Amino acid sequence: MGTLARKHVLIIVQNLPVPLDRRVWLECQALVRSGYQVSVICPKGPGDPSRELLDGVWLYKYRPPAQANGFASYINEFVYCWLRTALLFARIFLTRPFSVVQACNPPDTYAPLGLIARLLGVRFVYDQHDLCPEIYLARFEKPSKKIFKALLGLERATYRVADHVISTNESYRAIAMRRGHRTLENTTVVRSGPDTTRMKPGPAQPELRLGREHLVCYLGIMGPQDGVDIVLRAMDVIVHKFGRKDVSAALLGFGDCLEELRRLCTELDLDDYVTFTGRADANMIRDYLSTAAVGLSPDPYNELNDISTMNKTMEYMAHQLPVVTFDLAETRVSAADSAVYVEPGDITAFATAVCELLDDADRRSELGERGRRRAVEVLDWAAQARAYVSVYDRLHGITRSDGTSAAPAPSVRVPTPALASKGSEVEAAGSSAGQALRP
**Domains along the chain with CATH numbers:** 3-189 (3.40.50.2000), 206-378 (3.40.50.2000)
Give the pLDDT of residue 407: 40
Give the pLDDT of residue 402: 61
Amino acid at 283: N
Compute φ and ψ for 37, nearest 5 degrees: -80, 140
DSSP bridge partners of 43: 62
Low-confidence ranges of the chain (pLDDT < 50): 1, 405-439
Q: Are strands 214-219 and 187-189 parallel, antiparallel or unpaired?
A: unpaired
Give the pLDDT of residue 24: 97
Q: Which helix (H) or strand (E) holds 25?
A: helix 22-33
Give the pLDDT of residue 75: 84
Give the pLDDT of residue 399: 87
Strand, coil or helix: what is 194? Answer: coil
Cβ 323 vs Cβ 294: under 8 Å: yes
Q: How many CB atoms lie within 10 A of CB 330?
A: 24
DSSP bridge partners of 438: 436
102: Cβ contacts below 8 Å, ≥ 6 apart: 9, 10, 11, 12, 27, 124, 125, 126, 127, 166
Question: What's the CA gap between 256 and 267, in Å, rounded?
Answer: 19
Strand, coil or helix: what is 380? Answer: coil
- The beta-strand segments (E) located in 143-209 are 164-167, 187-189
Nearest in space to 22 (alpha carbons), one of 129, 100, 164, 136: 129
Question: Helices marked H in 237-328 — which ranges?
Answer: 258-267, 282-291, 311-318
Give the pLDDT of residue 427: 23
Give the pLDDT of residue 4: 66
Nearest in space to 158 (alpha carbons), one of 121, 130, 192: 130
Give the pLDDT of residue 70: 66
Give the pLDDT of residue 74: 76
Q: Are strands 123-128 and 164-167 parallel, antiparallel or unpaired?
A: parallel
Spacing of C-alpha 324 from chain mean position: 18
Strand, coil or helix: what is 237? Answer: helix
Give the pLDDT of residue 324: 98
| Residue 5 CA: distances (Å) to CA of 9, 125, 406 | 11, 17, 19
Cβ 257 vs Cβ 224: under 8 Å: yes
Question: What's the CA gap between 162 and 252, in Å, rounded?
Answer: 35
Nearest 5°: the CA angle 311, 313, 318 is 95
Question: What's the CA gap between 168 and 112, in Å, rounded?
Answer: 23
